[in-house]
Structure 1
Amino acid sequence: MTVPQPHTESAAHYDAAGILGAIYGDGITGLKGAFSRDWVAQLAEDLAGLYKDALARPGGAVGRGANRHYVEIHPEDIRGFVELVSHPWIQAVCEAVLGPQYQVVEIGFDVPNPGARDQPWHRDFPATAQTLVERRLNSLAFNLTTVDVEPDMGPFDIAPGTQWDDPSSYDHGMFPPTSLYGRYQARSQLKMPRMGDVSVRSALTIHRGTANHSNKPRPVLVLGVDAPGAGNHEKHDFQMTRTFYDSLPSSLRDHLLCRLVDHLEPVVQGHSIEGLMMGDA
């Protein structure tokens, strides 16, 4: 049963200028306590089952390095999808940065397991001319941890402000040379959110997962959102059954760039990042 999540504010409650300043400045921002711990515990249960199923299915999980996976899922695989995408802060961020016709194009989760190593500093995909020339950001990645992150659990590491860095020396437009690592290390911010906190970033901001020295995994939900025309939906298979889609409020359906199916089809992970395939995933 879905744990209801009351939202007493509307998207208009949140300061668009502050949101834009954070995303265009540091490249990351967040909201503490956006969801209840009970709601997150339910999400953690769902993701644990989905992870087990994905590992047992060919193509169900894609490696992001040793002992680290990414799994793309279906919205109706989790009980809290509607609460997630209808949260007023998430809507406010999307509208402020991407415009009123923003499109949800991806949902999945990362799992850095015990023994996961430091990833190389990277972007999730190359910057386009819209960012490099027009200085516009046309996609966002929301992250929601399902555990209280501790220092030994491989916290997410980000170098604020680097979404604007020149990628001309990057491998595949995504992986900076090691000669630039000092710049990122000097800006490094390790993030240790707690259950219920939500963050949002430009996937172009240079970041990495760090080594998990604990005996616990660190699952984190990922929600990908585009401005119209950004094209990141091509890397994913965001699908819903017609029955589920029709049950959603029209205000949500308007923001879903998905494939409608009669029956859900297993997702074969398509967003492989070759430079993160270090060792046995």
Structure 2
Amino acid sequence: MTTLTQPDSSPSSAPAAPQYDMASIMGALYGDGILGLKGAFSREFAQHLGEDIAVLYEAALKRPGGAVGRGTNRHYVEIHPETVRGFTELVTHPWVQAVCATVLGPEYKIVEIGFDVPGPGAKDQPWHRDFPAGEETLIGRRLNSLAFNITTVDVEEDMGPFEIAPGTQWDDPTLYDHGMFPPTSLYERYQARAQRKFPKMGDISVRSALTIHRGTANQSNKSRPVLVLGVDAPGAGNHEKHDFQVTRAFYESLPQEVRDHLICRIVEELEPIVQGHTIEGLMMGDA
């Protein structure tokens, strides 16, 4: 994972806003398909996310349709942004804003927030994309969506780290099942390129969900929860797969710079989310 760090700034009475290099951002996401920033947030920030996710996960598992399977002992849960601490801090982080605006354009839209939990005993997933590539990518060679990941734990070798095959967001999906699952005959290509990621609490990464990836087997007795933030370019349409809701009170508490980038339903009271973004090939089994 390519990592950008803040450039040094000249001493001044007030700290300067960080500047991130557009060419480096574009080069990473159009090249490897993944980019990271170490220490973007405090460990306390990640700890709070983890505490909130633990409560939400327990509740989701008890509710019909509250969690969707992504393989053995793996679940994804879409959530309401106001149910986790730090949503505004996350989406207004200068690096997050810079990446979104650079790759997706200044009118980018936040369409999803949720979390993945690979628990103890989770097995290797099959290599996959999170959804089929559209013509804007296959023909226009343009990325129109991004997925940000924030770990809530220090990832270790035996915890089922995320694995990605850099550069495969451009691969031809003609032979893929449902446009998402490559045949096993192509696995050698992905294994040759594979990189496992070991982020620490406070780190953040962003990737194209079209880059071929998988979760690996969790051989530990610990879960590896990770927060997911989905962002679209205008017209990408991924919001149709989600039920992004905020209460009116929460919406009115948000800075205008956040409101401008939301595609959401404004409700008086939050409604339970019935998970809609299923990935059938992951629910049917493991690699």
Q: Secondary structure at the match of 2:96?
A: helix
Deviation per CA, 1:52-109: give whole Å up to 9, x if none. Answer: 0000100000000000000000000011100010000000000000000000000000
Determine the structure 2 residue equivalent to 1:82.
88
Determine the structure 2 residue equivalent to 1:109.
115
Q: Secondary structure at the match of 1:17?
A: helix
Code of the aligned partner of 2:108: Y
Distance 2:264 2:23 in 1: 30
Within the candidate set 132, 142, 147, 2:148 is matched to: 142
Determine the structure 2 residue equivalent to 1:36.
42
Identity within the alignment, %: 76
Once the 2 structures are TM-superposed, how far is the Cα of residue 39 of structure 1 from its aligned partner? 1.0
Aligned pair count reads 273
Code of the aligned partner of 1:178: T
Determine the structure 2 residue equivalent to 1:71.
77
1:241, 1:262 within 8 Å by CA — same for their partners in 2?
A: yes
Matched, 1:171 2:183: no
Task: Please list, as runs of the form range in 1=range in 2, the aligned pairs for 1:213-232 lying within 5 A after superposition.
Answer: 213-232=219-238
Once the 2 structures are TM-superposed, how far is the Cα of residue 279 of structure 1 from its aligned partner? 4.8
Once the 2 structures are TM-superposed, how far is the Cα of residue 264 of structure 1 from its aligned partner? 0.2
Matched, 1:133 2:139: yes
Distance 1:15 1:274 in 2: 38
Within the candidate set 269, 275, 279, 2:281 is matched to: 275
Distance change >3 Å, CA 55–CA 161, structure 1 → 2: same
Distance 1:9 1:125 in 2: 39
Determine the structure 1 residue equivalent to 2:157.
151
Within the candidate set 91, 94, 105, 1:99 is matched to: 105
Q: Secondary structure at the match of 1:148?
A: coil
Once the 2 structures are TM-superposed, how far is the Cα of residue 9 of structure 1 from its aligned partner? 5.5
Is there any run of 5+ residues in structure 1 with no aligned partner, and where? 1-7
TM-score with structure 2 length normalisation? 0.93
Distance 2:284 2:120 in 1: 15
Within the candidate set 128, 132, 146, 1:122 is matched to: 128
Code of the aligned partner of 2:221: N
Code of the aligned partner of 1:37: R
Determine the structure 2 residue equivalent to 1:191.
197
Determine the structure 1 residue equivalent to 2:248.
242
Once the 2 structures are TM-superposed, how far is the Cα of residue 278 of structure 1 from its aligned partner? 3.5
Distance change >3 Å, CA 9–CA 63, structure 1 → 2: farther
Q: Secondary structure at the match of 1:21?
A: helix
Q: Secondary structure at the match of 2:192?
A: helix
Within the candidate set 146, 162, 168, 2:168 is matched to: 162
1:9, 1:88 within 8 Å by CA — same for their partners in 2?
A: no
C-alpha RMSD of matched pairs (Å): 1.2
Determine the structure 1 residue equivalent to 2:213.
207
Which stretches of structure 1, 4 residues or more, deviate above 4 A after TM superposition?
none
Once the 2 structures are TM-superposed, how far is the Cα of residue 10 of structure 1 from its aligned partner? 3.5
Distance change >3 Å, CA 265–CA 9, structure 1 → 2: farther
Is there any run of 5+ residues in structure 2 with no aligned partner, and where? 1-14
